[in-house]
């Protein structure tokens, strides 16, 4: 059986060479390995920690290494990242263990010749009392290395959010996010669900900001719980639940959810409507459509029709709706603490997204009834994908006007456009804009 550090090293090498999604490969690794809960917790903390702090760790490797970074074997780079991370950020790990276990990993990955090299680098760092010398770095360049956030992203958030909010956003990228669920109020009360979950060893607590929102802990095996199988809840971040509150569907209305997968907004809207009316839930991929349909069945929600559809193109078979939700594909900068690798994507990879977002919101407008509501949303914090898209849409669509849906949530009260940072509601970074069709 592999040790926790061996599991972590394998995962990091795979991330480095294959560009996989961190959450998916971690879940897969744990289902394939019989490590105990404590080892899995350590492995997950080390894995995500190394991803979160990669730029800081690489700065240290470059500083202490006598070999050019690009010439260091991939596995050895990951071993050094793990070693530096344990020394700097894992107080529970003795310094001697961090060094010795890193050296031992060289044998595991057939890099025996690197043992002395790894040992020397980490012990020199210890002799220097773990101090990081930033040299001549100042301002945004220093922040970039210190907080492991690309310089372009530091500059972007400073410009768009202001320095204080930008630092809140940068800091929010570390650590694991809370896990939220939405109670299926069509069939159960919040107290029913909390009681059922706690009887199975899963901690659940009411959220003070959103009705029927609960925060979960000790969620291992939750999909095998009786509460899950009974359809008592579905997993959905609080920010996404707030988006549904802003959409504010009413029973007997028609709702279209254009970019629905995995379906959280569809299910919450159905529950808000007390399973009365019609919801048409679409996604580009058939496999994701099946997930939506199967979850709706598990929850016992009967008003949902799930189907395959390209949201960028007009589909005459989609009915006119009272509410249209388009949670468009985006850069995901609001969910970095779920997928730390997102922040290392080159800025150029994100530049094509507004074209797709523009096509979707323009197409979504075609499905809104006169007097109906269009909700545009993303899980990113980026003016070019959020405010600019909505501002441009309003300039080109005189038949739509901004509308403010009141929210009794501090900081999110009165605006038709709302940017939610993780520090605002302890959820994902999120954006919503609410527009009404007047003719």
35 pLDDT above the threshold of 90: no
pLDDT band (50, 70, 90) for residue 286: very high
Does a structural domain hold residue 218? no
Specify whether 273 is located in the same domain as 151. no
Specify whether 24 is located in the same domain as 146. no
Domain with residue 300: its CATH number is 3.40.50.150
Does a structural domain hold residue 55? yes
Question: Looking at residue 220, what is its pLDDT?
Answer: 83
Q: Is 265 annotated as ligand-binding?
A: yes
Does a structural domain hold residue 195? no
Span between the terminal Cα atoms of the chain, in Å: 66
Specify whether 167 is located in the same domain as 94. no
Specify whether 31 is located in the same domain as 58. yes
Specify whether 398 is located in the same domain as 256. yes
Question: Looking at residue 38, what is its pLDDT?
Answer: 86
Specify whether 162 is located in the same domain as 97. no
Question: Looking at residue 78, what is its pLDDT?
Answer: 97
The residues, any chain, with a CB within 8 Å of residue 151's CB and separated by 6 or more, are 140, 141, 144
Specify whether 272 is located in the same domain as 394. yes
Q: Is 192 annotated as ligand-binding?
A: no
Look-up of token digits 């971690």: 26
Question: Looking at residue 409, what is its pLDDT?
Answer: 87
Question: Looking at residue 348, what is its pLDDT?
Answer: 85
- Sign (positive or negative) of CA dihedral 171, 173, 176, 179: positive
Specify whether 97 is located in the same domain as 159. no
Q: Is 225 annotated as ligand-binding?
A: no
Does a structural domain hold residue 187? no
Stretch 86-109: mean pLDDT, rounded?
A: 96
Cα-based torsion angle of the residue sequence 141, 147, 150, 155 in order, rounded to the nearest 10 degrees: -60
Which residue among 58, 92, 127 closes a domain?
A: 127
Specify whether 156 is located in the same domain as 263. no
The alpha carbons of the chain give a radius of gyration, in whole angstroms, of 24
Query: What rounded mean pLDDT belongs to the chain?
Result: 95
Does a structural domain hold residue 194? no
Q: Is 259 annotated as ligand-binding?
A: yes
Question: Looking at residue 250, what is its pLDDT?
Answer: 97
Q: Is 226 annotated as ligand-binding?
A: no
Stretch 404-422: mean pLDDT, rounded?
A: 90
Select from 339, 422, 235 the least CA-distant residue to 27. 339
Domain with residue 33: its CATH number is 1.10.940.10
194 pLDDT above the threshold of 90: yes
pLDDT band (50, 70, 90) for residue 284: very high
pLDDT in tens, 243-279: 999 999 999 999 999 999 999 999 999 999 999 999 9
Does a structural domain hold residue 377? yes
Q: Is 109 annotated as ligand-binding?
A: no
144 pLDDT above the threshold of 80: yes
81 pLDDT above the threshold of 80: yes
18 pLDDT above the threshold of 90: no
Does a structural domain hold residue 225? no
Specify whether 106 is located in the same domain as 159. no
Specify whether 269 is located in the same domain as 329. yes
What six digits make up the tokens of 53? 């702090």
Q: Which class for 343: exposed (0-12), middle (13-18), buried (19 or more C-beta within 10 A)? A: buried
Looking at the chain, the number of H-run helices and the number of E-run strands are 19, 12
Q: How far is CA 16 from the centre of its chain?
A: 20
The residues, any chain, with a CB within 8 Å of residue 49's CB and separated by 6 or more, are 85, 89, 90
- Sign (positive or negative) of CA dihedral 53, 54, 57, 59: negative
Report the half-sphere exposure of 391 (CA within 13 A, side-chain side). Answer: 6
Q: Is 423 annotated as ligand-binding?
A: no
How many structural domains does the chain have?
3
pLDDT band (50, 70, 90) for residue 28: confident
Stretch 319-346: mean pLDDT, rounded?
A: 96
Which residue among 101, 127, 153 closes a domain?
A: 127
Which residue among 127, 162, 184 closes a domain?
A: 127
Give the span between the Cα atoms of 373 and 392, in whole angstroms: 18
Does a structural domain hold residue 290? yes
Q: Which residues are identified as catalytic?
A: 379
Q: How far is CA 6 from the centre of its chain?
A: 26
Give the span between the Cα atoms of 211 and 381, in whole angstroms: 25
How does DSSP classify residue 365? G
Q: Is 243 annotated as ligand-binding?
A: no
Q: Is 182 helix (H, G, I), strand (E, B) or coil?
A: strand
Contact call for residues 5 and 101 (beta carbons, < 8 A): yes
Question: Looking at residue 180, what is its pLDDT?
Answer: 98
Q: Which domain covers residue 29, as residue numbers?
A: 4-127
Q: Is 420 helix (H, G, I), strand (E, B) or coil?
A: strand
Select from 275, 240, 271 the least CA-distant residue to 375. 240
Give the span between the Cα atoms of 318 and 303, in whole angstroms: 15
pLDDT in tens, 371-409: 999 999 999 999 999 999 999 999 999 999 999 999 988
Question: Looking at residue 37, what is its pLDDT?
Answer: 81
pTM, 2 dp: 0.94
For residue 433, list its beta bridge partners. Answer: 376, 417
Contact call for residues 27 and 223 (beta carbons, < 8 A): no
How many CB atoms lie under 10 A from the CB of residue 318?
Answer: 19
Give the span between the Cα atoms of 45 and 316, in whole angstroms: 48
What six digits make up the tokens of 436? 């009404």
| 148 vs 39, residue with greater confidence | 148
Specify whether 391 is located in the same domain as 266. yes
13 pLDDT above the threshold of 90: yes
């Amino acid at each position: 059986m592999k040790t926790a550090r061996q599991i972590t090293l394998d995962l990091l090498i795979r991330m480095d060479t294959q560009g996989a999604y961190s959450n998916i490969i971690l879940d897969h690794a744990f289902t394939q390995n019989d490590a105990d809960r404590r080892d899995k917790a350590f492995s997950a903390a080390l894995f995500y920690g190394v991803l979160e702090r990669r730029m800081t760790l690489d700065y240290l490797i470059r500083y202490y290494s006598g070999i050019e970074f690009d010439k260091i074997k991939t596995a050895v780079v990951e071993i050094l990242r793990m070693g530096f991370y344990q020394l700097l950020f894992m107080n529970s790990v003795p310094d001697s263990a961090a060094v010795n276990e890193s050296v031992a990993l060289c044998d595991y990955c057939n890099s025996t010749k690197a043992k002395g090299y790894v040992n020397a680098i980490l012990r020199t760092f210890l002799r220097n009392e773990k101090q990081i010398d930033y040299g001549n770095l100042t301002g945004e360049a220093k922040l970039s290395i210190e907080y492991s956030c690309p310089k372009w992203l530091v500059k972007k958030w400073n410009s768009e959010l202001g320095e204080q909010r930008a630092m809140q956003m940068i800091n929010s990228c570390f650590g694991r996010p809370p896990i939220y669920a939405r109670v299926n109020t069509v069939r159960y009360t919040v107290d029913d669900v909390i009681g059922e979950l706690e009887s199975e060893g899963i901690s659940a607590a009411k959220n003070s900001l959103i009705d029927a929102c609960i925060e979960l802990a000790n969620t291992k095996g939750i999909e095998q719980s009786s509460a899950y199988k009974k359809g008592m809840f579905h997993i959905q971040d609080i920010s996404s639940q707030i988006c549904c509150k802003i959409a504010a569907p009413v029973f007997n209305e028609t709702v279209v959810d254009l970019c629905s997968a995995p379906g959280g907004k569809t299910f919450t809207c159905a529950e808000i409507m007390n399973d009365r009316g019609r919801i048409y839930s679409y996604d580009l991929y058939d496999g994701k459509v099946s997930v939506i349909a199967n979850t709706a069945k598990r929850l016992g929600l009967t008003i949902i029709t799930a189907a395959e559809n390209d949201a960028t193109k007009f589909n005459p078979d989609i009915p006119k709706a009272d509410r249209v939700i388009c949670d468009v594909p985006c850069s995901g900068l609001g969910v970095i603490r779920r997928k730390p690798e997102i922040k290392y994507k080159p800025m150029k990879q994100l530049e094509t997204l507004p074209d797709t977002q523009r096509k979707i919101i323009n197409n979504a407008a075609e499905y809104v009834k006169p007097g109906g509501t269009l909700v545009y949303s993303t899980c990113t914090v980026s003016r070019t994908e959020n405010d600019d898209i909505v501002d441009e849409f309003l300039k080109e669509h005189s038949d739509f006007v901004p509308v403010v849906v009141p929210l009794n949530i501090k900081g999110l009260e009165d605006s038709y456009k709302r940017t939610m940072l993780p520090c605002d509601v302890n959820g994902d970074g999120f954006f919503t804009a609410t527009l009404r069709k007047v003719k």
